[in-house]
Amino acid sequence: MAVGTAVPRAGDATRPMTKAEKRVIFASSLGTVFEWYDFYLYGSLAAIIGAQFFNVLGPDGKPLYDEATRNIFALLAFAAGFIVRPFGALVFGRIGDLVGRKYTFLVTILLMGVSTFIVGILPSATSIGIAAPIILIILRLLQGLALGGEYGGAATYVAEHAPNGRRGFYTSWIQTTATLGLFLSLIVILATRTITGEEAFREWGWRIPFLVSVVLLGISVWIRLQLSESPAFKKMKEEGQTSKAPLKEAFGEWRNAKIALVALLGLTAGQGVVWYTGQFYALFFLQSILKVDGYTSNLLIAWSLVFGTGFFVFFGWLSDKIGRKPIILAGCAIAAVSYFTIFHHITAIANPNLEKAIQTVKVSVIADPKQCGDLFNPVGTRKFTAPCDLARDFLAKSSVKYTTEAAPTGQPVRIKVNDTEIPVTDGLSSADLGKAANPVLQAAGYPKAGDPGIVKMSNPFDIFRAQTASIIGLLFVLVLFVTMVYGPIAAALVELFPTRIRYSGMSLPYHIGNGWFGGLLPATAFAMVAATGDIYYGLWYPIAIAVMTVLVGLFFVPETKDRDIFADIDGVPPARH
């Protein structure tokens, strides 16, 4: 039997949560966990997927692309899922405001689940050639579209069941889903790797986490079928007040479009970069910059999520008491002023010899400035051959802090490590440069791969040593910032828009803020690191966006916690405060 509730009113805020409301929250949250699980599987396994689906053979039977290029294609396909999320918000937001919340996010979970399952059974490029990467990219686009429609539907559906005065608490359970989905994907991948062994996992075992998603899909669909339509939408439809053109009304009329713009710049852009810095960029920083092995990096992040996830609900509850705006903007502000300190400490603990080398070893690239190009390379598709660019790109990827010094015109390019100089000549490959430079860098103090000082966990519960416990503690602080900005965001967005365009209105700024500002953060931040020679320079990207959000939010975002989002069903606009 379908579960639903009457339109909530302010007097309901003091009563306990009903059984029906609990089921609404559980069904919406569980389904969204599974959607995020599906979405993150690809990102976690991008390198393996690159080898499976982009290893296209040419007419001579040899691979058309080298390993680095295959990995780049795999990451671009992952990024495609983020890029199309706002379009999914438009497509499914419109349907949700026309047809209803329940059936729309039922469609999105079916689309996501089926697409993910097909990835698990899709033949590799060695079997079906160029069709494999083409089908994979189409599936990624479908996943991105589905995710673009899922969040707005789930958040709107829960909020429209929640009593006035408790929307922050009710919707905060939805906010745990992205983190729980990431955590679930990490656990399933680690368990599968352990059971199958690394070699078998790379060959066929990686498909298991994708295939498992069909079970999760079945559970989610069954639970969601038990639900009835949102009471707010149902009442509005019965009274004939639904929008005939929700996209035009939401974004073509300035009175509503300006709300979406303020929501993007004053809430979701900063929330997005703080979210991705605290989870994805932290993971990238551990693996790619600090050279911590993948097993340890994933476990460190997973433990920080275990300890931090409950704070999504805490800050959602607190936002009902003191407001959405102060908590979200405080999270952005505190993150912005503390990122450099936290990441410096993570380096010093996770790879102490690297931190020491950064402080004590002077490395410079001496070259004619006219011979040095732009290293900004967000998607990693550029290959550097000019000696100056090759030298700087090599040092950045080796996590070496360097400066660039001007040399007289015509002088050959040199890398100077303290007092030792390494010539970088035309035609030199990155591998040859590594053979010449690595012994000098290591002699000066830079750690080599597998340095015993780098943090390494022997098992999932190896968290009580000072080194691992300290890193988890710092990562937990980053997750705490995530919970501050993300816990109240659903309630804040729902309350900004009227019922007739709520699904469309809130979905687009949310997915631009998270999918574009946040989702492209790791690649952009590392490109900034490579361009400057400073492993911390990439942090300026989330800091700048977070500060912008604080400033816009302070002056233009209204506080919404006391709004009656059901008043506009009767033709009365929500009260402004």
Residue 75 token pair: 């990451």
Give 139-183 pLDDT, tens digit per residue: 888 888 888 887 777 888 888 888 888 899 999 988 888 778 888
DSSP 50-109: HHHHS--B-TTSSBSS-HHHHHHHHHHHHHHHHHTHHHHHHHHHHHHHHT-HHHHHHHHH
Distance between CA 404 and CA 98 in Å, rounded? 58
* Domains defined for the chain, CATH in brackets: 19-349+458-570 (1.20.1250.20), 361-444 (3.40.30)
- Partners of 250 in beta bridges: none
| β-strands 420-424, 413-417 pairing | antiparallel
Query: Which of the 8 DSSP states describes residue 323?
Result: -
Distance between CA 358 and CA 380 in Å, rounded? 24
| β-strands 413-417, 363-367 pairing | antiparallel
CA distances from 174 to 156, 164, 171, 352 (A): 10, 17, 5, 38
Q: Contact 267/492 with Cβ under 8 angstroms?
A: yes
Instruction: Give me the residues of the chain with pLDDT under 50, please.
Output: 1, 5, 10, 570-577
Measured from the Cβ of residue 416, the count of other Cβ atoms closer than 10 Å reads 17
Q: Which of 326, 412, 403 is nearest to 363 (CA)?
A: 403
Helix (H), strand (E) at residue 526: helix 521-532
Check residue 504 and give left, alpha or beta (phi > 0: left; psi -120 to 50: alpha).
alpha
| β-strands 403-406, 363-367 pairing | parallel
38 half-sphere exposure, CB direction, 13 A CA radius: 38
Q: Contact 70/50 with Cβ under 8 angstroms?
A: yes
Q: Which of 448, 429, 393, 378 is nearest to 404 (CA)?
A: 393
Provide the terminal-to-terminal Cα distance of the chain, rounded to the nearest Å. Answer: 40
What is the pLDDT, as a whole number, of residue 163? 83
Helices 502-511 & 254-263 angle (0-180, nearest 10): 40
State whether residue 574 is helix, strand or coil: coil
Distance between CA 383 and CA 208 in Å, rounded? 35
Alpha helices in 160-229 (DSSP H): 167-196, 198-200, 207-225
CA distances from 68 to 140, 286, 383 (A): 20, 20, 10
- Partners of 422 in beta bridges: 415
Q: Contact 472/307 with Cβ under 8 angstroms?
A: yes
Helix (H), strand (E) at residue 146: helix 131-159
